[in-house]
Amino acid sequence: MKPKIIKKVSVDKMYRLILIIFGSVIVLIVLGIITQLIIGALPSIKENGLLFLIKKDWDPNKNTFGALPFIYGTLATSVLSVSLAAPLSIGAALFLNEYIKPNLSLFIGTLIDLLAAIPSVVYGLWGLIIMVPYIKILEIWLYTHFGFIPIFKAQPYGVGILSATFILMIMILPYAISVIKEVLKLVPVMMKEQALALGATKWEVLQKVVIPYIRSGIFAGIGLSLGRALGETMAVTMLIGNRNSIPKSIFDPANTLASIIANDFYEASSKLHVSSLIYMGLISLTITLIITLIMKLILSRLTVQTSKK
C-alpha cells in the first residue's frame, strides 16, 4: 500500500507543477506585453509626461501629439454603446432564462453566442454598407427635430460617433447576455418558489427577488462588455469617420485610441510618433485591465456570497 500512496503523491505533485508552469506562462505573457509597451512609450512619456492625456493637438508634421481627442472618442462610443446594450442584454437574459423552454433557450443562446464569433472586419463592412445609410436617415431626423440640443447640432455624415456606437452595441451584446445568464443561474430556485407561493406574479418575482439578488452581477456583466467596447478596433475604425479632433456632437466623425493606432501606425515616420501611438496603446490597455479586474472581483464576490447562502 505504501508504494502506491507515494506514487499517487508524486503524480499529484507533477500535475500541480505542470499547472503552475502553465499559469505562470500566461502571467509572463501579460507582463511581457505591458513591459514592451512601457519601453516603446518611454520617448513619448519623457517628452510629454501625463500632459499627453490632456493635450488636444495631434499633428505628426509638427511632432505635436496629444491623446485627449482619442480618449474622449473612446469613452464616448464605449459609454453610449453600453448604455444602449444594458437594457437589451438584461431583457434578453431574463427572457432566455425565465420565460422560454430550456431547449429553445439553448438554441437562441447559441445564436447569440455566434455574434461573438463574427470577425470585427465583417461587422465593419456590414455596418458601412447596410447600417450607415439608415443611421444617416436617423441623424437627419434627429437634427431636424432636436437640432436645438447641442449633441444633435451638427451636420449629419452617416459615419461618426453614432454609427460606431450602434456597431459596438451589437458587438458587445453577446458578452453581456452571456454573463448575465450565468449570474441568473445563481439565484436559488427556493427564493423564487417562495415568492410565487406567497402570491407574487412572475414580474414581481423578477423585480423584487431576482434582479436585486443579482444586481452586482448585472453590473459586472455590463462592465465586462464595457472593457470589450474600449478595445474594439477594426469595426470602429471603419465607421467612426477618423477625424483627429474632439467631437461636439454624436454626429461628428472622431477617432478612438484603437482606431488612431490602426490608422497611423504603419505610416508613422518619426520615433516620437511611433512612441506616442504605443503610449496610447498602454493607456487603452491600462483602462481595460482596471475595468476588467474590478468586474471580475465583483463577480467573484457574488459567487462567494451565493455559495454561503
Domain ranges of the chain: 52-308
Asked whether the beta carbons of 186 and 302 are under 8 A apart, the reply is yes
In terms of Cα–Cα distance, which of 92, 99, 116, 70 is closest to 225?
Answer: 116
Could you say which DSSP state residue 53 is in? G
Tell me what pLDDT residue 168 has.
92
Distance CA 102, CA 37 (A): 46
Q: What is the pLDDT of residue 166?
A: 93
Q: How sure is the predictor about 126, in pLDDT bands with cuts at 50, 70 and 90? A: very high
Least confident of 16-25, 123-132, 225-234, 295-304: 295-304
Cα 51 to Cα 170: distance, rounded to the nearest angstrom: 34
Backbone angles phi, psi at 148, to 5 degrees: -75, -15
The overall average pLDDT reported for the chain is 84
Per-residue pLDDT for 160 more than 80?
Answer: yes
Mean pLDDT in residue range 245-267: 87
If you average pLDDT over residues 65-71, what whole number do you get? Answer: 89
pLDDT of residue 182: 82
Model confidence at 169, pLDDT cuts 50, 70, 90, reads: very high
End-to-end CA distance of the chain: 41
Q: What would the grid cell of residue 73 be?
A: 472618442
Share of the chain above pLDDT 70, in %: 93
pLDDT confidence of residue 81: 92
Comparing C-alpha atoms, which of 295, 291, 276 is closest to residue 58? 276
Of the listed ranges 149-163, 188-202, 251-265, 268-282, the one predicted with least confidence? 188-202
In angstroms, rounded to a whole number, what is the distance separating the alpha carbons of residues 290 and 25?
A: 21
Please give the Cα distance from 114 to 24 (Å, whole number).
Answer: 31
Reference 162, options 252, 32, 222; nearest CA is 252
Share of the chain above pLDDT 90, in %: 12
Mean pLDDT over 212-217 rounds to 80
Backbone angles phi, psi at 287, to 5 degrees: -60, -45
- Does the pLDDT value for residue 3 go beyond 60? no
Contact predicate 74/230, CB 8 Å: yes
52-308: CATH topology is MetI-like fold (1.10.3720)
CA 25 – CA 225 distance, rounded (Å): 26
Tell me the pLDDT tens digit for each residue of 102-111. 888 888 888 8
Res. 201: pLDDT tops 70: yes
**Residue 9 pLDDT grade (very low, low, confident, very high; cuts 50, 70, 90):** low
